[in-house]
Amino acid sequence: MLWVKAFHIVFVASWFAGLFYLPRIFVNLALVPVESVAEQQRLLLMARKLLRFTTILAVPALALGLWLWLGYGIGKGPGNGWLHAKLAGVLLVIGYHHACGSLLKKFERNQNRRSHVWYRWFNEVPVLLLVAVVVLVVVKPF
């Protein structure tokens, strides 16, 4: 079980690294002047590759988490409300990941209507989600 847990943590940390950096690329894309086509294309290429890589990392992170939950019974039984809250957090992270993909498509179609400031705030969401999930798993407050 410890091997599964260790690799789960590695893949979750890697997944989040991508979720931390992708919105920073969005901040830069929102700042690119319309006439800077080469800069925009370079940033779009970086964002596409990072989203693809981040998605690949999310799959084993989620699979290993399911293995821990269903295969080893982590979080089963009474007094494990923390797991339900953690699973809700995981669903929010998946939703955030999906939102990043949707925002990238808007940038690719030149349909972005949000400012760089909005993306700076959007970039803080995965930090808050990671803190919440880690506290739930480590502290198990309920």
pLDDT at 79: 79
- Nearest of 111, 89, 105, 109 to residue 22 by alpha carbon: 105
Q: Which residue from 22, 35, 14 is spatially nearest to 103, judged by alpha carbons?
A: 22
- Confidence category of residue 115, pLDDT binned at 50, 70, 90: very high
> Cα–Cα distance between 6 and 140 in angstroms, integer?
19
Say yes or no to pLDDT of 75 above 80. Answer: no
pTM of the model: 0.94
DSSP-derived secondary structure for 89-109: HHHHHHHHHHHHHHHHHHHHT
Mean pLDDT of 69-89: 87
Q: Give the pLDDT score at 26.
A: 98
Using alpha carbons, select from 125, 131, 133 the residue that is nearest to residue 98. Answer: 125
Q: Which residue has the tokens 């989040």?
A: 16
